[in-house]
Amino acid sequence: MSLPGARAADTQPAQWPVQLHGVLQRAGVVQVAYVPDAGHARLIELCREDRAMKPVVLTPEQEGVGLLAGAWLGGERGVLLMQSSGVGNIINALSMIQVCGFPLLLIVTMRGEWGEFNPWQVPMGQSTEPCLRALGVIVERVVDPAQIAGTVEAAARLAFSSARAVAVLISQRVVGAKTFGEE
Q: What is the mean pLDDT of residues 130-136?
A: 96
> Does a structural domain hold residue 31?
yes
The band of 76, judged by pLDDT with boundaries at 50, 70 and 90, is very high
Global pTM value: 0.90
Q: Which residues contact 59 (CB under 8 A, 6 or more apart)?
A: 35
Between vectors from CA 25 to CA 67 and to CA 42, what angle results, nearest 5°? 80
User: What pLDDT is recorded for position 9?
Assistant: 41
Q: What's the domain range around 161?
A: 27-174
Q: In what side-by-side order are the strands of the sheet with 77-83?
A: 54-57, 29-34, 77-83, 104-109, 165-170, 138-142
> Does a structural domain hold residue 141?
yes
**Percentage of residues in the chain with pLDDT exceeding 90?**
83
Is a pLDDT exceeding 80 seen at residue 181? no
Number of domains comprising the chain: 1
User: What pLDDT is recorded for position 60?
Assistant: 94
Any idea what the CATH number is for the domain that residue 81 is in?
A: 3.40.50.970
Is a pLDDT exceeding 90 seen at residue 87? yes
CB 149 within 8 A of CB 109: no
> Does a structural domain hold residue 21?
no
> Does a structural domain hold residue 179?
no
pLDDT one-digit tens code per residue, 145-173 = 999 999 999 999 999 999 999 999 999 99
